[in-house]
Chain A
Amino acid sequence: MNTKLIIVVFFLLLVSPPAWAALTFTGESKTYLQAREAINGDDVMPLYEYLDFRFQDTRSKNLSFHFAGWARTNLEGEILGEKTNSELQYAYVSYRKNTNNALANAGRVYVFEGVASEQIDGLYVRTDVGGGFEVAAFGGIPLETDEDGGSGDSIYGGRIAQGRPGRYQVGISYLNEEDDSDEFREEQGIDLWWRLRPKADLRGRSWYNAITSNWMQHNYYLVLGPFDKLKVNAEASKVYYEDYFQSATMSAFQFTTLDPNEIITIVGTGVEYPFNSALTGIVDYKNYDYELAGEADYFGGMLAYAVRDYSAGLSLYRMDGETDRLKYGEYRAYAQKQWARTDATVDLLVVSYDEEINGVKNVYTAVAAVGYAFNAQARALADLEYGRNPEFDKEVRAMVRFVYRFDVSSR
């Protein structure tokens, strides 16, 4: 499928003469070399190459081609039983019109439209249609069901929204997906953005499962402020397990593991206050209320300091679940300093469990990283991570990263 898709998008590019008239080529190559011990005790050393780029018609800027993918080869050991692996993340031709924010993407595309948050091999189109209305539609073959080859798999859907710029937007969306020609997902969504006042911003969504005929989730987020620098946020969500996890393909989310009758209600709030231009204090609280499993509270706060060439943070959080197994404290401190071309980062994370896991109560992870910018286009980073956790008495992981940015124009 990947090969066919690449041939199709390159063909579309080839038959578009304006695209070749004058091109801008931008992109990034990211190379990672990682050394670590796998959970089975084997040493693994994967080498990854991530490549993403975009060709754009320089003159009109209407037509472009976008590509991203990665490939891995192991210098030592295997990952998931394979010496090599690769993935095409996206590859699509995009046509964007200068009016009405009209856009058409064809190929392997990302779709984020209301209830849909998908990667598909197909077509995505959207446009404004006047009166504050906008419409989007997509159709093709979903990637998430391609484990058995994608035969008989299909997905389509869309979103219609109406709004007033800067004030509100209400959208309704729909998604229908089949796996091996069998009904897999049919979801409907309502999404909302309402800027009640200049200092009150509400965003949210409710999703409905048309297969189980019940709500999957409600999820709303309110931001208030800043009021003399003080900012407050509030979050409320409700998830109905039987309807939300109905289309899970991984056993951890299936009803052999989860209780389909469980319903979770989450309410939370956070306060953010910048003491000055560099130092900000944040306090968070979240309550998890289960229909069957009781309650849990997560609360804590952090201090974040940031100036042009230095940043640091300190956070202390506590999770209080119903049982000792769901109780822990999470403490983190980090600092980063930047010099002319060099930067250094240290990051320490401690998780202290109330109940031992594999005989371990306190889990430590310490990270040190050093970066160096050769120029505006090339940068290297090396990091070393040391940890003690329930799986390893002493875990050492290292990674080297090299990033190179392309920026080439043919005219």
Chain B
Amino acid sequence: MNQSLARTLIPILIAAAFAGFIACSTHKSRAPQHPQVGPSSQCSSCHQDWRATLSHTSDFDRRHKFLAAQQQQVCGVCHAQSFCADCHANQEEIKPSDKYKDTPARNMPHRGNYLAQHRIDGRINPASCFPCHGRQNNERCKLCHR
């Protein structure tokens, strides 16, 4: 079997397997949207069980990647997909810190003129830059980094 045929067949077989699972499924799905989202992003103010760990505490910017990779659907209960797209994009021209100057408590990256600082951050830990700019969202970077 050649590779292009395999690439076509694999998604079809996976989709067929899922269709089978879905047809036989039994337990109720979680609510697609949170019944009432209040002004607080602290889940622990109502939930005392594991959901309290989803609270958007001061370190949430550092740990939200783990939650998203394991429980993307849980994020979707409160956030529309556009909430992720605001920062995580294939191509984006406005910095998140420019979009959200009215929410200073959120720890948005690249505040102010980031040009000087990026040379230092890039040396300290380039792996922190890579997920957003390594293979995408780097048209502006390429003006100098050709």
* A and B interact: yes
* Among B58, B81, B145, contact of A66 (Cβ-Cβ < 8 Å): B81
Contact between A99 and B115, CB atoms less than 8 A apart? no
Contact between B135 and A365, CB atoms less than 8 A apart? no
* Among B26, B91, B104, B119, contact of A100 (Cβ-Cβ < 8 Å): B26
User: Is B36 on the interface with A (CB-CB < 8 A)?
Assistant: no
Q: How far is the CA of A77 from the CA of B7 in the complex (A)?
A: 44
User: Is A300 on the interface with B (CB-CB < 8 A)?
Assistant: no
Number of A-B contacts (CB under 8 A): 292
Min CB gap B57→A, angstroms: 7
User: Is A180 on the interface with B (CB-CB < 8 A)?
Assistant: no
Which label, helix, strand, loop or mixed, suits the secondary structure of the A interface? strand
Contact between B66 and A204, CB atoms less than 8 A apart? yes
Q: Which residues of A contact B102 (CB under 8 A)?
A: 336, 343, 345, 369, 371, 381, 383
Contact between A112 and B69, CB atoms less than 8 A apart? yes
Query: Which chain A residue has the least Cβ–Cβ distance from B84?
Result: A110
Q: How far is the CA of A235 from the CA of B128 in the complex (A)?
A: 14
- Contact A245/B126 with A87-B90, A389-B116 known, Cβ cut-off 8 Å: yes
Q: Which residues of B contact A103 (CB under 8 A)?
A: 73
Min CB gap A132→B, angstroms: 11
Q: Which residues of A contact B5 (CB under 8 A)?
A: none
Q: How far is the CA of A328 from the CA of B68 in the complex (A)?
A: 32
Q: How far is the CA of A72 from the CA of B22 in the complex (A)?
A: 41
Q: For chain A, give the interface size range.
A: 35 or more
Query: Which chain B residue has the least Cβ–Cβ distance from A401?
Result: B99
Q: How far is the CA of A257 from the CA of B146 in the complex (A)?
A: 11
- Contact A349/B127 with A101-B30, A156-B7 known, Cβ cut-off 8 Å: no
Contact between A387 and B113, CB atoms less than 8 A apart? yes
Q: How far is the CA of A201 from the CA of B50 in the complex (A)?
A: 9
Q: How far is the CA of A319 from the CA of B119 in the complex (A)?
A: 14
Query: Which chain A residue has the least Cβ–Cβ distance from B90?
Result: A143
Q: How far is the CA of A104 from the CA of B115 in the complex (A)?
A: 41
Min CB gap A283→B, angstroms: 11
Contact between B133 and A250, CB atoms less than 8 A apart? yes
Contact between B10 and A139, CB atoms less than 8 A apart? yes
- Contact A98/B28 with A137-B14, A161-B70, A252-B145 known, Cβ cut-off 8 Å: yes
Per-position binary interface string of chain B over residues 1-31, scored 1 when its CB falls under 8 Å from any chain A CB and 0 otherwise: 0010001001100110010011001111110
Contact between A101 and B57, CB atoms less than 8 A apart? no
Contact between A61 and B32, CB atoms less than 8 A apart? yes
Known: A253-B130, A302-B58, A383-B102. 5 other contacts (CB 8 A): A85-B93, A123-B15, A244-B127, A247-B134, A334-B104
| Closest A-B pairs by Cβ, 10 of them | A365-B112, A100-B25, A139-B11, A52-B82, A334-B104, A166-B50, A203-B66, A252-B145, A99-B25, A144-B136
Chain B residues with CB under 8 Å of chain A are 3, 7, 10-11, 14-15, 18, 21-22, 25-30, 32, 49-50, 53, 57-59, 62-63, 65-70, 72-73, 80-82, 84-85, 88-94, 98-99, 101-102, 104-105, 111-113, 115-117, 119-120, 122-127, 129-131, 133-136, 138-143, 145-146
13 examples of A-B residue contacts, CB within 8 angstroms: A46-B93, A48-B93, A66-B81, A87-B90, A89-B85, A127-B25, A247-B135, A250-B133, A251-B145, A326-B123, A347-B101, A391-B115, A395-B113
Chain A residues with CB under 8 Å of chain B are 26, 28, 32, 34, 39, 46, 48, 52, 54, 61, 66, 68, 72, 79-80, 85, 87, 89-90, 96-104, 110, 112-115, 117, 119, 122-123, 125-130, 135, 137, 139-140, 143-146, 154, 156, 158, 161, 165-167, 169, 171, 181, 191, 193, 195, 201, 203-205, 217, 221, 223, 231, 233, 235, 239, 241, 244-245, 247-253, 257-258, 264, 266, 270, 272, 280, 282, 288, 293, 296, 298, 302, 304, 306, 311, 313, 319, 321, 325-326, 328, 332, 334-336, 343, 345, 347, 349, 351, 353, 357-358, 360, 363, 365, 367, 369, 371, 381, 383, 385, 387, 389-392, 395, 397, 399, 401
